[in-house]
Structure 1
């Protein structure tokens, strides 16, 4: 039996900060108690002066494998995730080929089983013509069904009203949606191409993929979910306009309709296109400053349930193309915890809220089996944070395969020092101690 002891931990968990030791045995937390014996312990971590958090669960990433491995791989991006305190991820189906069959979905799980440092799950993709495959998905072993109700790659735009109705009516499991109205985006694109041609810049992005496109699509998804009592999770809310669709009158575990906000929609606004341009071009677009203020308020009052990244790496060369050709998406999975802790330093969030929205809430929302909390009997996914040690984002410490970040040059006031994944110490002070530690997530449904 392998034993790991974390001593003198300042544990942030379930709305409290407490001090105790944490004993980990064979992957699970066996005891949380002060003064635990170090007899027969294989490994000891002294967390004196540091915070110990449950591992961050990122419910929306794009790790690009298979088919787009010139941008990223499951191994490379899970390393970056672990270095940033993300111990579990849920990855999207718009890889190449798109994960639209059970066999293609199984292929991704097989890759992760061999190469992922973080715990993993993969969404089953929906299209206009694969509903039979979607309905074969096992709710206990797959995080959810992903429906692109806006522009996407390959055969993944679901715009057939009959198919959408059938998905919401028949799916026995969580449906996660990307909500942007395709017709609105196409109309705006045509208009701005005529007006700006090749001189267009990323500053046009929030005008093309505007509030109207988001609200129209999100409203449709919510209406379908209410009509069929479906379990809906709306990804990356980016506008103040959409917030009235969501409630804070129920506990998360009782909600049938939930919503996520991404770190970049809280951190950046449309003023940042002037300096970062295509680096922050993403879908849905980063919009005007008043939206990010409204999103933060909705996060605080529980209309928005989860914080995620929508990590979507592209090569630097791809991002240097003109606005129309440059792909959408930015790499973020190494830095979401540091970003949110910066809001703590600014007095805008509490440590307890960060843990609730990044760790507890994803576990509850997706009904993940025994993760997301520091509890006896739960998997030991833990992150140690040093609030006295700063982190400067630079080319030298960026672990994304794409090699760049829109956060380069920023100094965060905290650092991630240790990350434990499924009971194994994977990352310690900039060094990786293993090449594989992640387990497949299971779901209590």
Structure 2
């Protein structure tokens, strides 16, 4: 499995070599064209690529050549990211915006809901042999989220829950969950977080 694939050539090489691969939201929704606005907030490894390569990555996401999307979540604070180019840490926050961005692409007609299901749930569960995850069936964990595709809105860092207080996807369209369940217990009811804790996913 190849993590953080950021170029179409990398995706193609992974598939030719019989490996699975993942991409991050920032390599699917951002490009070097965004760096003038992002500045050091856009510093990451691998770096942002050209718009042409971003478009080619998204094409591979849509047609199934990219197996999954993973956040590479790195919630550095504004204070950290506003250092000089050489001193600012690499990475951006992404946990709360990954699925909303992908569903925003569904609303725009650029992805199918089935592809989003596959790249964020079904495929990761299959690749990493997690039989109770990534599916709705008897014996699986009731990890569920409800989304209203008619409730798309602009992503705003001020509305998110990460302590870092910003997002590189400011102004992008996202569809956020109405509620979220983990193993059948609400962990987000639309207003408040629940108290359900994580546990090992392997027996």
User: TM-score, normalising length from structure 2?
Assistant: 0.92
Question: Contact 1:247 / 1:302 at 8 angstroms: preserved in 2?
Answer: no
Alpha-carbon distance in structure 1 between the residues aligned to 2:84 and 2:125: 40
Q: Residue 83 of structure 2 is aligned with which of 306, 317, 321?
A: 321
Give the greater-gyration-radius structure (CA): 1
**Is 1:440 equivalent to 2:191 in the alignment?**
no
State the match for 2:41 in structure 1. Answer: 279
Q: Residue 73 of structure 2 is aligned with which of 291, 305, 311?
A: 311
1:312 Cα offset (Å): 0.8
State the match for 1:288 in structure 2. Answer: 50
Question: Contact 1:424 / 1:437 at 8 angstroms: preserved in 2?
Answer: no
1:296 Cα offset (Å): 1.8
1:404 Cα offset (Å): 1.4
Alpha-carbon distance in structure 1 between the residues aligned to 2:12 and 2:178: 39
Runs of 4+ in 1 over 4 A off after TM superposition: none
1:393 Cα offset (Å): 3.0
Q: Residue 150 of structure 2 is aligned with which of 374, 388, 392?
A: 388
1:411 Cα offset (Å): 4.3
Alpha carbons of structure 1 residues 409 and 241: separation in structure 2 relative to 1, 3 Å:
closer
- How is 1:213-252 mapped onto 2 (pairs within 5 angstroms)? 233-247=1-15
* Cα deviation code 1:9-65 (max 9, x no counterpart): xxxxxxxxxxxxxxxxxxxxxxxxxxxxxxxxxxxxxxxxxxxxxxxxxxxxxxxxx
SS of corresponding position for 2:12: helix
SS of corresponding position for 2:56: helix
State the match for 2:187 in structure 1. Answer: 426
Question: Contact 1:246 / 1:304 at 8 angstroms: preserved in 2?
Answer: no
Alpha-carbon distance in structure 1 between the residues aligned to 2:155 and 2:110: 22
Alpha carbons of structure 1 residues 418 and 333: separation in structure 2 relative to 1, 3 Å:
same
- How is 1:14-413 mapped onto 2 (pairs within 5 angstroms)? 233-247=1-15, 257-412=19-174
User: TM-score, normalising length from structure 1?
Assistant: 0.44
Alpha-carbon distance in structure 2 between the residues aligned to 1:363 and 1:280: 30
1:256 Cα offset (Å): 5.5
1:423 Cα offset (Å): 1.3
Higher relative contact order (CA 8 A, sep 6+): 1
Alpha carbons of structure 1 residues 282 and 289: separation in structure 2 relative to 1, 3 Å:
same
Alpha-carbon distance in structure 2 between the residues aligned to 1:301 and 1:340: 14
Alpha-carbon distance in structure 2 between the residues aligned to 1:393 and 1:409: 5
User: Which is strand-richer, 1 or 2?
Assistant: 1
How large is the RMSD of aligned CA atoms in angstroms? Answer: 1.8
Question: Contact 1:363 / 1:371 at 8 angstroms: preserved in 2?
Answer: yes
1:299 Cα offset (Å): 2.2
Alpha-carbon distance in structure 2 between the residues aligned to 1:324 and 1:411: 31
Question: Contact 1:263 / 1:336 at 8 angstroms: preserved in 2?
Answer: yes
Alpha-carbon distance in structure 2 between the residues aligned to 1:440 and 1:427: 20
> Which is further off, 401-410 or 350-359?
401-410
Alpha-carbon distance in structure 1 between the residues aligned to 2:55 and 2:165: 30
Alpha-carbon distance in structure 2 between the residues aligned to 1:392 and 1:385: 15
1:367 Cα offset (Å): 0.5
